[in-house]
Amino acid sequence: MPLRGHLIGKRLFVVFLSLTLLVFLGVFADAAQAYPIPPYESDNVPVRGTSLPPFPISTPEPVLAIEHLPRNSHRPLPIRISDDDCCPYPRWSSDSEWVMLFDAGEKGEVPGLYSIPREGGSPTLLTKRIGVYSQDWSLVAYPEASMVYIERWADGDRWVVPSPGRRIFFSPSGDQIAWELESSGIRHPDLRQNAIWLAEIDGGAAREVVTVNGGHFVGWSSGEEAIIVYGRLSPNGPAGIWRVSTEDGSGRLLFEIEKPRSLLLSPAGGWLAFFVTFENQTDRNGLWIIGMDGSEKRHYPFIGAYRWRGEGQLLVIPQDLDAPGAYLWQIDVDDDVVWELTDPMLDALPIASNDWQPSPDGSVIVFRSHEDHNLWVFPLPELPLSP
C-alpha cells in the first residue's frame, strides 16, 4: 500500500510538471506572436512596454557640419623665421609686421623686448623694460619698490598708478586701466572676494566698480562702457558671466555658469569664447561663444585651444588625440559656420604646447614648433570666407 501511494504521487508530480511546461510554452508563443523576434542583423530589437518612468536623457546635439575649402585651394606651407631654439610665447606688433617676444637673458642675451620681421631674421632689442604692455606696445606697466609704474618706453616718460603693487590690465584703446584687490583672510577660491578697480591711463579717477565673489576680471566690452567679469556679484547670488557698467557698477547676467574656463574676449569686445566641462547637464559641455550685448549664444560640442582671428572669427585647434598633429578650424560666429582650414592628414602643424598666435590682420599665425623649437609663420586662407 505504501508503494502504491508512492507511485500515484510520482505520477501526479509528472502530470503537474507537464501542465506547467505547456502553460509556459503557450505564454511564450503568445509573446512571440505579439513581439516577433527579428533576425540577428536587425537593429530594431523591440522592447516590451513597462510601467516604469522613462530614464531621463539629455537632448542630443545636432551633427556638427564642417565646411571645407575648395579642393583646388592653394595649401600654403609654414615658413621658419627664427634659429637657435628661438623663442617661446611670441606675440604680434599692432601692424602685424613684427613678431614680438621677451627674452629673460637665459642664453646670455640682454633681457628685454625683442622683435623679428614676419619674413624672418635675427631678433632686435627694442627695450630692456619687461612688463605688461598695452595693445599697441607703446606703454608698459611694471612694479618697482612696491609701486606700479606706467612708462612710455619710446621717450622714458613714466608715472605712478594707485594700484598697490597689483598687476595692471590695459583697455584696448589704452585710455583705461584695471586691477584687482583680493580680500585677505578668505582662502577658498569660490568664496574669495576680488574688488575690481578702474582708472584713467594716468591713474586719475580711480574707483572701485564692483566686487566679485569667487571670480575675476575678464576685460572690456565693445565701446569700453562696460567690463566683463565672472563669479557672483553678491555672496548668495547666481554665479555666471556678467556685464558691469563702468558708470554705476550695475550688473547684467549674460550666462549663468559656475566655472567657465579659458575666457577670451574678441579684439573689439563684442564676443566672448569660453568652454564648459564636467557639468551635470552634459549638453552644456563644450565650447560657447556669446555676444556681449546678451543677444546671441552659440554652442559647439567640442573643446580645444582657440584664438580670435578677427571680430567674430575664432580659430580653433580641436582636441583630437588621434590626429597626427594640430589642425585648424575657423568659426564664423555671425553665420554660425565652422570651416576646416587645414587637413590633419595633409598639413598638420607641429605646434608646441599651445604656443601660437594669429596676427592682428588675420593673415597668418606664428607658432613655436615642437620639432626644432623655432618660430614658424603659417599663412591662413584669405578673408572673407562664405559657404
H helix or E strand, kind and range, residue 8: helix 2-34
Site of grid cell 591713474: 203
pLDDT-based confidence at 106, cuts 50/70/90? low
pLDDT number for residue 354: 95
Torsion angle, alpha carbons of 6, 9, 14, 17, to 10: -140
DSSP string, 30-98: HHHHHSPPPPTT-S-------SSPPPP-PPPPPPPPEEE--TT------EE---SS--SS-EE-TTSSE
pLDDT-based confidence at 162, cuts 50/70/90? very high
CA quadruple 376, 381, 383, 387: dihedral sign:
negative
pLDDT-based confidence at 6, cuts 50/70/90? very low
Cell of 383: 578673408
pLDDT in tens, 226-257: 999 999 999 999 999 999 999 999 999 999 99
- Region 92-119: mean pLDDT is 88
pLDDT in tens, 108-153: 578 999 999 999 998 999 999 999 999 999 999 999 998 999 999 8
The percentage of residues in the chain with a pLDDT greater than 90, rounded to a whole number, is: 65
27 pLDDT higher than 70 = no
Q: Give the Å distances, CA to CA, from 32 to 25, 39, 45, 202, 372.
A: 10, 13, 13, 85, 68
Distance, CA of 77 to CA of 207 (rounded, Å) = 50
pLDDT number for residue 107: 58
Q: Is 19 helix (H, G, I), strand (E, B) or coil?
A: helix
pLDDT number for residue 295: 86
pLDDT-based confidence at 194, cuts 50/70/90? very high
Distance, CA of 267 to CA of 246 (rounded, Å) = 19
pLDDT number for residue 1: 43
50 pLDDT higher than 70 = no
pLDDT number for residue 20: 47
Q: Give the Å distances, CA to CA, from 272 to 22, 160, 205, 224, 312.
A: 70, 32, 28, 14, 9
pLDDT number for residue 172: 96
Distance, CA of 314 to CA of 133 (rounded, Å) = 23
Q: Are 201 and 190 within 8 A, CB to CB?
A: no
pLDDT in tens, 252-311: 999 999 999 999 999 999 999 999 998 888 889 999 999 999 989 999 999 999 999 999
Across the strands, what pairs with 229?
217, 242
pLDDT-based confidence at 39, cuts 50/70/90? very low
Distance, CA of 348 to CA of 359 (rounded, Å) = 19
CATH topology of domain 131-254: Neuraminidase (2.120.10)
pLDDT-based confidence at 63, cuts 50/70/90? low
pLDDT-based confidence at 14, cuts 50/70/90? very low
CA quadruple 232, 233, 234, 235: dihedral sign:
positive
Distance, CA of 206 to CA of 199 (rounded, Å) = 4
pLDDT-based confidence at 54, cuts 50/70/90? very low
Q: What are the residue ranges spanned by the domains of the chain?
A: 131-254
Number of helices followed by number of strands (H, E) in the chain:
1, 28
pLDDT in tens, 297-354: 999 999 999 999 999 999 999 999 888 889 999 999 998 999 999 988 888 899 999 9
Report pTM: 0.81
The percentage of residues in the chain with a pLDDT greater than 70, rounded to a whole number, is: 81
DSSP 13: H
DSSP string, 112-149: EEEEEETT----EEEES--SEEPTTSSEEEEEETTEEE
